[in-house]
Structure 1
Amino acid sequence: MSKLFIPYIMGNSSFIQNLKMLSEAGADIVEIGVPFSDPVADGPVIMDAGKKAIEEGISVNYILEQLTQHKADINSNYVLMTYYNIIHHYGEEAFFAACEDAGVYGLIIPDLPFELIEQMKLRHPERKVKIISLVAMTTAKERIEQIAQHAEGFIYTVTMNATTGENGKFHPELKQRINYIKSISQVPVVAGFGIRTTDHVADIIEGADGVVIGSEIVRRLDEDDNATSRQYFSGIRHVLDA
């Protein structure tokens, strides 16, 4: 059974080109990071990419406008990873409307806890954009059950107690935790943080329904030529399809 390939890219001046390349490479969902000045969940690679995007003058308005213009050319679903401050200043209702116009499948808001996410859902019952839930290794079982009951799109399980970019240092109870979440969830359960190699992917998908790969893809898009990047994406896709 094929598993989900969910790569992360930074929303910079090249993000549409990178989004199209990943879509062509078989990405099921692409996570687009909205650059933010205080990205508390991000490790050094993604933090540096966000800083460069801000210096380029990239804003959430630019990202949404570009997606609106190019959505017909993109086969993959795509979600925005953003912090709540950006949504608050944009205005929640206007933000959901703009995301819908831009073809955004969902939002990941890592600094918004479960209770506030549920309040947001109640404020916008007609929205079509899904709000993706995260589960940490420190999340209590009772809380996991609440999250799973209300989950939309997919559940993003964090593989370790750290920021993004750690290299394969997955929590020893990760697979057990993923299997438990899957047993009570009606949506796919994917894992992210620290996944870089095809060996990491093969290990994680023994339990998970897919993987999120962030820092390694951001680094490769910055340092490698397109042919080398495509070869890496193809290798990940092959493992997920095996």
Structure 2
Amino acid sequence: MHKLFIPYVMGNKHFIENVKTLSNVGADIIEVGVPFSDPVADGPVIMDAGSKAIQEGVNIQFILDQLTEHRNEIESDYVLMTYYNIINYYGEADFLQACARAGVYGLIIPDLPHELVQQFKARHPQRQTKIISLIAMTTSESRSNQIAKEAEGFIYTVTMNATTGENGKFHPDLKDRIKKIKSKSKVPVVAGFGIRTPEHVKDITEASDGVVIGSEIVKRFENDSEKNMLNYLKSIRNALNR
């Protein structure tokens, strides 16, 4: 069964080449992080990458321009992981129009709670770009059900608060929670945070429709040889194709 591979890259000066690499190895959706001075949902590896991108002079306009210029060379869908401050400063309507020109499939806005996401959607009913919902493992079941019912594109479940069992695998309670979310959703439910290895992938996709891998990929693009990077990406893709 084909499961979704959603790798993350930081939007830095050379991000478009990384996006093309990920597309070529079979990524289904690529998450492009927009560097921001005050991130609230990033670990140390991604925070450091974001700081470096800001020092390089990268901003949202550079990212949108690069995606617009190269959109025909990228087979995968791609989403932006950004913060509402950036969208608000740009102007909501103008930002969504720029995303449409750039071929952006969706937006992940971690600092916008569900109620404000729904208001955002209502203000822009004709938009082409989907707003992707996040559900944390600490979210109540009733609230999770509401978010799942109104989700579009895919649901990103945040496994950060989940512990692994004695065998190093993801806790059965986490898998049960993901299955419950899936039962209420009409869109795929993927898991992210703390997923690094093919073994992690095989384990969590017993419940989820795919995985988001962020810090490990950012770190490997920074430090690995091209050959090692491609071997790693192919190992993840193969683990998702079982």
Cα contact 1:159–1:171 (8 A) shared by 2: no
Matches for 1:26-45 after TM superposition, within 5 Å: 26-45=26-45
Cα contact 1:7–1:27 (8 A) shared by 2: yes
Kindly state the Cα deviation for residue 9 of structure 1 after the two structures are TM-superposed.
0.2
Secondary structure of residue in 1 paired with 2:160: coil
Q: Aligned in 2, Cα 1:215/1:136: closer, same or farther, shift over 3 Å?
A: same
Matches for 1:130-145 after TM superposition, within 5 Å: 130-145=130-145
Secondary structure of residue in 2 paired with 1:173: helix
- Give the letter aligned to residue 87 of structure 1: I
Deviations 1:48-78 (A, max 9, x none): 0000000000000000000000000000000
Cα contact 2:170–2:204 (8 A) shared by 1: no
- How far apart in 2 are the matches of 1:241 and 1:232? 15
Q: Aligned in 2, Cα 1:169/1:238: closer, same or farther, shift over 3 Å?
A: closer
Give unmatched runs, 5+ long, in structure 1. 163-167
Cα contact 2:169–2:203 (8 A) shared by 1: no
Matches for 1:174-213 after TM superposition, within 5 Å: 174-213=174-213
Matches for 1:1-242 after TM superposition, within 5 Å: 1-161=1-161, 170=170, 173-242=173-242
Cα contact 1:158–1:192 (8 A) shared by 2: yes
Secondary structure of residue in 2 paired with 1:190: strand
Deviations 1:171-191 (A, max 9, x none): 552101100011111000000
Deviations 1:92-143 (A, max 9, x none): 0000000000000000000100000000000000001000000001111111
Secondary structure of residue in 2 paired with 1:7: strand
Kindly state the Cα deviation for residue 161 of structure 1 after the two structures are TM-superposed.
2.3
Secondary structure of residue in 1 paired with 2:41: coil
Question: What percentage of aligned pairs have identical amino acids?
Answer: 67
Secondary structure of residue in 2 paired with 1:97: helix
Deviations 1:178-206 (A, max 9, x none): 00011111000000000001111011000
Q: Aligned in 2, Cα 1:144/1:40: closer, same or farther, shift over 3 Å?
A: same
Kindly state the Cα deviation for residue 145 of structure 1 after the two structures are TM-superposed.
1.3
Kindly state the Cα deviation for residue 4 of structure 1 after the two structures are TM-superposed.
0.2
Cα contact 1:137–1:171 (8 A) shared by 2: no
Cα contact 2:169–2:200 (8 A) shared by 1: no
- How far apart in 1 are the matches of 2:99 and 2:235? 31
Secondary structure of residue in 2 paired with 1:153: coil
- How far apart in 2 are the matches of 1:216 and 1:173? 24
Cα contact 1:79–1:106 (8 A) shared by 2: yes
- Over the aligned positions, Cα root-mean-square deviation in angstroms equals 1.2
Deviations 1:140-187 (A, max 9, x none): 11111111111000000011228xxxxx78555210110001111100
Secondary structure of residue in 2 paired with 1:133: strand
- How far apart in 2 are the matches of 1:104 and 1:115? 23
Cα contact 2:170–2:203 (8 A) shared by 1: no
Cα contact 1:159–1:170 (8 A) shared by 2: no
- How far apart in 2 are the matches of 1:40 and 1:172? 28
Secondary structure of residue in 1 paired with 2:13: coil
Cα contact 2:175–2:207 (8 A) shared by 1: yes
Give unmatched runs, 5+ long, in structure 2. 163-167
* Pairs aligned (count): 237
The two structures have a TM-score, normalised by structure 1, of 0.96
The two structures have a TM-score, normalised by structure 2, of 0.96
- Give the letter aligned to residue 213 of structure 1: I
